Amino acid sequence: MSGSISLHSVSKTYDRAVRAVDRVSLDIAPGEFLVLLGPSGCGKSTVLRMIAGLEDITAGDLYLDGEYANHLPPGQRGMAMVFQNFALYPNMTSRDNIGFPLRFEAPGEDSGPRVEATARMLGIEDLLDRYPGQLSGGERQRVAMGRAVSRRPSVFLMDEPLSNLDAELRSRLRSEIARLTRELGVTTVYVTHDQSEAMSLGDRVAVMRGGVLQQLGPPRDAYGLPENIFVAAFVGTPRINLLQAVVHAPLEGAMSIALGAQRLRLPEPLAPDHQLLRIQQGRPVVVGLRPEAVRIATPSEARPGEVAISGLVEHLEYQGHEALVHLNTGSQPAVVPDLEPSRSQPAVRRRRGTPAPGMLSRLRERAARQVAGPVVVIDEPDPAPPPGGIAYDSERPPPGTGDLVVRTGPDTRLRSGTQVPLLVDLAHLYVFDHYGRRICPAPADLPGLDVPPL
């Protein structure tokens, strides 16, 4: 087996009601490391389990090495799985745990040389005669990986394999997994809700939300060119600043984006990406600024492409290698629900008085999940929802939390309550429309920017 995996519009519905995975299409190349990333309950594990054959596919097609494989039994798929809970047999030594699958795959063959070669690869030779109870969490996970590796599968499926480990061990094992899968050249599908893990491991990252694939591409694109507000907010620590804004495009005079009482004046001649914002004139949009897109400096220090605003220091968060300044610029943050949903909550909050879910509301919920919405507009009292079922929130953010986080050097000394000048780098400005789609920088396929998603 070469290890290519293709999902064509694959869905999974549990109990006729919960659509855990909604028409996901993915092509994973042989030897590729693909990470499924998303918040808890978004359907990552279900995708992995359908690839493994541990879960039936409700609709859509799965191809392994180009062959239709929906009904292929798990044992015939040439895959090995590593779970978060190590799953070792407690009454077997590491040697027996690693050799156990080989008893079935190559009956009668001496598994010793393969077990030892695997142990050498993972640096666990001296643990081979210990029982799981005599191993640390990290050692247990190495043995669990050894069991997967010894089978020489064509695909590794890993479901949050590091989530039970402490931070230092996670980072060490992360590089070991990267090295091991690269050396073995084995296709790997890795599930995590930890975006930094996804960014550091994946050749490509598939970001999911509410069962729907939001974006598929290299980690650099998920961070630098998020297709929607959900991906922008989910990827990156500290989280991107998302501010409610309005585009002003007068027939005469400069175009600007209002953030509360302040304005980002777009320099003339307008950049092509900024020209496309003209059609949003007067509409609420959301501005996204990563913490490194704004710096504390006076207007006279502005470089080309930087525009001045100001902010009131709320507090300084010292991080050792850097400091994060929390500022209040007088704008309203936009809120993206579903970033960390609890399993008991529905995927999209409904407005008061909305009837119980029927076909129409289910369709609307699905449409809302396909884009990043709902985007919360705090200042508008009870606005009518646009098509697509986007909901609104009337809660204000807690006072004193600031609306903008800016990254600075660790030596910054700033007192709370100080008004500071800020420079916004327009080269790193994101604008999302009312439906949560990125409209600046312009999307590659330039959809009808006015058209509601359905």
What residues make contact with ligand ATP under the rule CB under 6 A? 14-15, 18, 20, 38, 40-46, 193, 343
> For 425, what's the count of Cα atoms within 13 Å in the CB-facing half-sphere?
12
Q: Please report how the helices 112-122 and 137-150 are oriented relative to each other, as an axis angle in degrees rounded to 10.
A: 130
Report the alpha-carbon distance of residue 245 to residue 263 in Å, rounded. 9
Q: Which is nearer to ligand ATP, 15 or 382 (CB)?
A: 15
* Closest separation in Å from C-beta 204 to ligand ATP: 18
Q: What is the three-state SS of 192-261?
A: ECCHHHHHHHCCEEEEEECCEEEEEECHHHHHHCCCEHHHHHHCCCCCCEEEEEEEECCCCCCCEEEECC
Q: How far is CA 319 from the centre of its chain?
A: 23
* Closest separation in Å from C-beta 365 to ligand ATP: 13
> For 413, what's the count of Cα atoms within 13 Å in the CB-facing half-sphere?
0
Q: Which is nearer to ligand ATP, 84 or 262 (CB)?
A: 84
Q: Which two tokens stand for residue 355?
A: 């009837």
Q: Which is nearer to ligand ATP, 48 or 439 (CB)?
A: 48
* Closest separation in Å from C-beta 117 to ligand ATP: 33
List CB contacts of 348: < 8 A, sequence separation 6 or more. Answer: 210, 337, 338, 364, 365, 368, 369, 374, 389, 391
Q: Which is nearer to ligand ATP, 127 or 336 (CB)?
A: 336
* Closest separation in Å from C-beta 348 to ligand ATP: 13
* Closest separation in Å from C-beta 40 to ligand ATP: 3
* Closest separation in Å from C-beta 132 to ligand ATP: 23
Q: Which is nearer to ligand ATP, 190 or 430 (CB)?
A: 190
List CB contacts of 453: < 8 A, sequence separation 6 or more. Answer: 367, 370, 371, 388, 435, 437
* Closest separation in Å from C-beta 341 to ligand ATP: 9
Q: Which is nearer to ligand ATP, 49 or 295 (CB)?
A: 49
Q: Which is nearer to ligand ATP, 41 or 219 (CB)?
A: 41
* Closest separation in Å from C-beta 58 to ligand ATP: 12
Q: Which is nearer to ligand ATP, 37 or 426 (CB)?
A: 37
- Of residues 392, 384, 348, the one with CA closest to residue 368: 348
Q: Which is nearer to ligand ATP, 44 or 95 (CB)?
A: 44
- Give the β-pairing of 241-248 and 284-289: antiparallel
* Closest separation in Å from C-beta 428 to ligand ATP: 30
* Closest separation in Å from C-beta 45 to ligand ATP: 3
Q: Which residues pair with 454 in a beta bridge?
A: none
Q: Which is nearer to ligand ATP, 43 or 441 (CB)?
A: 43
